[in-house]
Amino acid sequence: MNTVETATPVAVPLWIGGKAEAVTSGRSGPVMNPATGEQIAEVGYAAAADVDRAVVSAKAASHEWRSTSLSHRAEILFRFRDLIERNKQELAAIITRENGKTIADAQGEVARGLENVEFACGIPHLLKGGYTEQASRGIDVYQIRQPLGVVAGITPFNFPGMVPLWMLANAIACGNTFVLKPSEKDPSASVFLVKLAKEAGLPDGVLNLVHGDKVAVDRILEHPDIKAVSFVGSTPVAKYIYETGTRNGKRVQALGGAKNHMLVLPDADIAMAADAAVSAGYGAAGERCMAISVVVAVGSVAGPLIAAIRERAGRIKVGPGADAASEMGPLITREHRDRVASHLDRAVAEGATLSLDGRKNPMTSRKGFFLGPSLLDHVRPGMACYEQEIFGPVLSVVRVSTYAEAIRLINENSWGNGVAIFTQNGGAARQFQFDVEVGMVGINVPIPVPVAYYSFGGWKNSLFGDLHMYGPEGVQFYTRAKVVTSRWPDPAASKVDLGFPQVR
């Protein structure tokens, strides 16, 4: 692996048929370092013809790859896993350079992505079907799961290493070939990963990479040889991907945005709840789909909890992600930073109290896209800061009087990705788990991202499609079932029987 070439790419390449290629579109965009505000690379935006080349390559590799034994596929995944592990510092550094998150956070992202490769290494076990002997006299019935063919993944900027691994590890383990379209804002982690996959022995064409914008995405959605699309990104785009992809006959799972609530009951340990709210609200500068963006404080807990959050948030060290002392890095672009900051004045105009103003953080005067932690109190439904996904370091507090009021608020929210409850009362937590209409629930756990052997996905506007991502549901998504009914009778006993077959 050439460190210089991958860590500081001048032009970010496509990866088709096992080698780097350039786009034919003549269109491209800048890749920025959010910590310095400077351009560090240029990424070509694929034309429809570039996507077509990637699909031709994936299709050509498809038959041979699905014919490869499960143990050989697992062997390659093991080597891929080891190569990621060995190169994890470099991968994390690439993520930090283009995304802005801190090195520690990028390392955490790589570790969680690696879990998905480890899960996929168990593919021989995961693809075991059911077998029923003697379903009828002398008749056996069994189910097998087969790959779909060429499948595609479209991923967001906020996890440029982990989310591609959520998808591609299971997809290729199941015997599919894959076309990845990562975020054009931080595409180099994907280039690094596809090179490692080749080094691990993955045959050319099994994993292809195209970069770009809506042009590339639209071609993926309409290409007749792409059988399934996995998407992670904002809700409006997720809805569009789901509607367009399914209209074109594809299997689609499209994970969207979020507004994750953290419910704090009056009996909660205030210090522990404040630590959790600050960690989950401001970690990765709030650019996590599982970030806590709303604290719901019940009754008397509000005053002391808000004071504890404010005190901790005010101490967060904002700085470049590559600086080991930084706890929170910049946001992804200047436009996004400014959009996040614009929520603060609007929230105040709509009646919220600005308890901590991130615009006053000294780092905001730098060229990078920095914004300090902000805290909004007395937020209510109907305010833009509550109704919209801010996706930045802004934590809102909604004060309610009762648990019933809190659960109604959370269930009426249009998103249902993650949620957390902080309490010392097991019965209350059990009731919350039963009542809440959200896909991933944390009990005294602020960021309940499921481990790789469960599946990830929200409810309501946080997921379009039936199956969640990765884990067992990922294997289900990337395969289709075939049921075989089989008998080996004595031909001498054969006769015509026009009746509908019944079990005997």
- Contact letters for ligand NAD, residues 4-33 (x by CB under 6 A): ------------------------------
CB of 139 to ligand NAD, least distance (A): 44
Q: CB of 135 within 8 A of CB of 204?
A: no
CB of 217 to ligand NAD, least distance (A): 4
Q: Cβ closer to ligand NAD: 216 or 344?
A: 216
Shortest Å, Cβ 255 to ligand NAD? 4
Region binding ligand NAD by CB under 6 A among candidate stretches 5-13, 52-60, 192-200, 251-259: 251-259
Sign of CA dihedral 282, 33, 210, 2: negative
Tokens matching residue 234:
């904002």
Nearer Cβ to ligand NAD (152/173): 152
Question: Per-residue x/- mask for ligand NAD, residues 392 to 431, rule CB under 6 A?
Answer: -------------------------x--------------
Residue 237 sits in the site that holds ligand NAD (CB under 6 A): yes
With CB under 6 A as the contact rule, the residue among 233, 330, 446, 471 that binds ligand NAD is 233
Q: Which residues pair with 154 in a beta bridge?
A: 181, 231
**Scanning residues 184 to 203, which ones bind ligand NAD (CB under 6 A)?**
184
Q: Is 289 a catalytic residue?
A: yes
Helix (H, G, I), strand (E, B) or coil at 334: helix
Is the distance from CB of 245 to CB of 229 less than 8 angstroms? yes
Whole-angstrom Cα distance, residue 284 to residue 48?
Answer: 34
Written as six digits, the tokens of 91 are 């991968």
260: contact with ligand NAD by CB under 6 A: no
- Please, which of residues 431-470 interact with ligand NAD by CB under 6 A? 458, 462
Give the helix/strand (H/E) hosting 297. Answer: strand 292-298
Q: Which segments within 8-72 are labelled E, that is strand?
A: 11-12, 14-16, 19-21, 28-33, 38-44
Backbone angles phi and psi of 47, in degrees to 5: -85, 170
**In the complex, minimum distance from the CB of residue 200 to ligand NAD, in angstroms, rounded to a whole number:** 25
Q: Where are the beta strands (DSSP E) in 34-82?
A: 38-44
- Does 289 bind ligand NAD (CB under 6 A)? Our answer is yes
Q: Select from 68, 69, 29, 66 the least CA-distant residue to 45.
A: 29
Q: Rule CB under 6 A: choose which of 114, 258, 284, 316 binds ligand NAD.
A: 258
CA distance 313 to 274: 9
Total residues binding ligand NAD (CB under 6 A): 27
Using CB atoms within 10 Å of the CB of residue 248, give its burial: 0 to 12 exposed, 13 to 18 middle, 19+ buried.
Answer: middle
With a CB cutoff of 8 Å and minimum separation 6, the contacts of 455 are: 467, 468, 469, 470, 471, 472, 473, 474
- Residue of minimal Cβ distance to ligand NAD: 233
* Residue 334 identity: R
Say if strands 394-400 and 374-377 run parallel, antiparallel, or are unpaired. parallel
DSSP symbol at 482? E
DSSP tally for the chain: helices H, then strands E:
17, 23
The distance of closest approach from Cβ of residue 389 to ligand NAD in the complex, given in angstroms and rounded to an integer, is: 5
Binding window for ligand NAD (CB under 6 A); candidates: 41-49, 77-85, 103-111, 150-158: 150-158
Point out which span in 35-43, 136-144, 167-175, 234-242 binds ligand NAD (CB under 6 A).
234-242
In 3D space, the residue among 180, 177, 146, 138 whose CA is nearest the CA of residue 163 turns out to be 180
Instruction: Pick the piece of the chain touching ligand NAD (CB under 6 A) from 126-134, 151-159, 171-179, 375-383.
Output: 151-159
3-state secondary structure 402-428: CHHHHHHHHHHCCEECEEEEECCCHHH
> Strand 14-16 relative to strand 177-181: parallel, antiparallel, unpaired?
unpaired
- Considering only 99, 107, 158, 170, the residue that binds ligand NAD (CB under 6 A) is 158
Binding ligand NAD (rule: CB under 6 A), the pick from 255, 285, 376, 452 is 255
The residue range among 209-217, 246-254, 400-408, 484-492 that interacts with ligand NAD, by the rule CB under 6 A, is 209-217
Candidates 121, 174, 289, 385; catalytic one: 289
Nearest approach in angstroms of CB 256 to ligand NAD is 6
Say if CB 362 and CB 316 are below 8 A apart. Answer: no
User: Candidates 32-40, 42-50, 230-238, 438-446 — which segment interacts with ligand NAD by CB under 6 A?
Assistant: 230-238
In terms of CB distance, is 35 or 331 closer to ligand NAD? 331
Q: Give the whole-angstrom CA distance, residue 9 versus residue 6.
A: 6
Contact residues: ligand NAD, CB under 6 A: 154-159, 181, 183-184, 213-214, 217, 232-234, 237, 240, 255-258, 289, 389, 391, 417, 458, 462
Catalytic residues: 289
